[in-house]
Amino acid sequence: MTLRCSCWIPKKNEEKVRSILRSMEVTGDEQVRLFIYMFFIYLLSIYLFIIYYLFIYVLFVCYLFIVYLFIYLFIYYLFSCLFIYIFYLFVCLFTFYFFVFILFHFLFICLFVYFICLFVWVLLVGEFGGSLAG
């Protein structure tokens, strides 16, 4: 695919502009290579975010489990069983809401990375309803 310039070019700069446009020419093989690079960068970013958020979530759940286990055992000897069940329900809900927060945050970041990759792809190759330059 050849990028075309639809703007007005002064005569004295015409050859410079045309040589620049010729150097920006993207062939089919380069398009495939660029697509593969962008696709693998996108997959790598998704896997890194999954590992990162799973690590944070596991650490947080372990922290909650240990801390609330000690609190639970302490309260168990001080108060009645009804209070313990309410406290346990609170811990479960808090953990669930944290998981939902992590999930939506992860989806938002994945969409953000996807749109960045798409934007870079459009800029590099110019495949958005034809060439961007012409």
In a domain, 6, yes or no: no
Q: What is the pLDDT of residue 84?
A: 63
Q: What is the pLDDT of residue 28?
A: 62
Q: What is the pLDDT of residue 61?
A: 74
In a domain, 11, yes or no: no
Q: What is the pLDDT of residue 118?
A: 73
In a domain, 134, yes or no: no
What total number of domains does the chain contain?
1
Q: What tens digit of pLDDT does each residue of 21-52 get?
A: 666 655 666 667 777 777 777 777 777 777 77
**Range among 11-25, 52-66, 67-81, 113-127 rated most confident:** 52-66
In a domain, 58, yes or no: yes
In a domain, 14, yes or no: no
In a domain, 99, yes or no: yes
Q: What is the pLDDT of residue 5?
A: 47
In a domain, 133, yes or no: no
Nearest Cα neighbor of 38 from 131, 132, 121 is: 121
User: Which residue range(s) make up the domain with 101?
Assistant: 29-125
